[in-house]
Amino acid sequence: MTGEPTAHEGRSYLVTGGASGIGRATAEVLAARGARVAIADLDAGGARRTAAELGGHTLPVTLDVADRDSWQAAVAAVETAFGGLDGLVNNAGITRDRTLARMSDQEWRQVVDVHLRGTWLGCQAARRLLSASDAGSIVNISSSGRHGSFGQTNYAAAKAGVVGLTKTVALELARAGVRCNAVAPGAVDTPMIRDVPEPVRENWLATITLGRLARPREIAEVVAFLLSPAASYITAQVIDVNGGELHL
Ligand SMILES: NC(=O)c1ccc[n+]([C@@H]2O[C@H](COP(=O)([O-])OP(=O)(O)OC[C@H]3O[C@@H](n4cnc5c(N)ncnc54)[C@H](O)[C@@H]3O)[C@@H](O)[C@H]2O)c1
């Protein structure tokens, strides 16, 4: 049977934080649709395992998004393996939660470095290859936490920063034919929120119209759409995928 090729077939993508949670789900969706996917993660073993489990045209890459040299090496590895790049997903993330009164310099710096500087470095490192594509696209992962989140001054500031960065990259790269958007998930059932105490989770659920957390796949589908030609007139946008959070 010869079906119509999917929008992602034969395209090349790099997903940071691809060994877990939302990044893994995104890599899975893209790989299942015939794309080549670089699964880039600080957790080298996790990236290798994920690539082996997903199969298809997946490439494990060791990457620290907060390190410029690491980005250069990762993009070079992707260029060698895939010959180019059509899409970048800046998804890798960490949390170091602490109230304003107690947060250390290190906790501030680590979170801002990974989310904000890491996304900026990724856009810089991938710019040349994405500009050479006829469908270059960047999707940055922000968060509903950008509106303010107790115990997360570092994370909220970084995720709000990702929005300004996204809109500016969209402006600067438009003439090269590269779109840049952000997806802002609400609470998603991944290892990142595994240690959140039960009362806090219950508070979350009370404010979510759909009354449940998101599954990683529900974020991945939106990311895949934004990477695809079906989204060719969407740039500089933030797409909230939060089940209808009532406090926003
Ligand atoms: N889970 C949620 O509720 C939620 C909500 C909103 C936004 N987000 C955002 O979604 C993204 C993915 O989160 P998740 O929930 O899938 O988390 P996760 O913890 O399941 O996965 C994060 C991945 O990022 C990798 N990583 C961490 N630091 C890295 C670095 N310096 N370089 C490269 N890789 C690194 C980790 O090894 C891990 O594989 C993050 O940006 C997060 O802030 C998550």
> Residue 64 belongs to what domain range?
12-241
Query: Per-residue pLDDT for 29 more than 90?
Result: yes
Q: Is the residue at 230 inside a domain? A: yes
Confidence at residue 6, expressed as pLDDT on a 0 to 100 scale: 79
Can you tell me the mean pLDDT for 164-190? 98
Please determine, for residue 71, whether its predicted confidence score (pLDDT) is greater than 50: yes
Domain count, the chain: 1
The pair of structure tokens assigned to 77 is 């590895």
CATH number, domain of 178, equals: 3.40.50.720
How many Å apart are CA 80 and CA 100, to the nearest integer?
45
Cα 31 to the center of its chain, rounded Å: 16
Domain presence at residue 50: yes
Task: With respect to residue 7, please indicate whether it lies within any of the assigned structural domains.
Answer: no
Tell me if 28 sits within 8 A of 54, measured CB to CB. yes
Predicted confidence (pLDDT) at residue 4 exceeds the cutoff of 80: no
Q: Give a yes or no: residue 246 inside a domain.
A: no
Give the pLDDT confidence of 108-163 residue by residue, as tens digits.
999 999 999 999 999 999 999 999 999 999 999 999 999 999 999 999 999 999 99
How large is the average pLDDT for residues 217-233? 98
For residue 2, is it within any domain?
no
Give the residue-averaged pLDDT of 206-223.
Answer: 97
- Per-residue pLDDT at 178 exceeds 90: yes
Give domain status of residue 37, yes or no. yes
Enzyme catalytic residues: 155
Phi, psi of 225 (to 5 degrees): -60, -45
Q: How far apart are CA 40 and CA 48, in angstroms?
A: 9
For residue 137, count other CB atoms closer than 10 A to its CB.
27
Question: Is a pLDDT exceeding 90 seen at residue 247?
Answer: no
Average pLDDT over residues 82-87: 98
Question: Does residue 248 register a pLDDT over 80?
Answer: no
Is the per-residue pLDDT at 1 higher than 60? Answer: no
Report the pLDDT value the prediction gives residue 34, as an integer from 0 to 100: 97
Mutate to test the pocket of ligand 1, among 192, 193, 205, 212 (most ligand atoms within 8 A of CB): 192
| Nearest-angstrom CA–CA distance, 113 and 94 | 10
- Using a 6 Å cutoff on CB, does residue 16 contact ligand 1? yes
Residue 59 lies in a domain: yes
At 3 the pLDDT is 61
Question: Which residue lies with its CA nearest to atom 43 of ligand 1?
Answer: 93
Ligand 1 nearest atom to the CA of residue 65, by list position: 32
Mean confidence (pLDDT) of the chain: 96
- Is the pLDDT higher at 41 or at 195? 41
Decide: residue 104, CB within 10 A, 0-12 exposed, 13-18 middle, 19+ buried: exposed
Whether 69 maps to a domain, the answer reads: yes
In the DSSP assignment, the letter for residue 109 is H
Q: Is a pLDDT exceeding 70 seen at residue 216?
A: yes
Closest ligand 1 atom to Cα of 155? 43
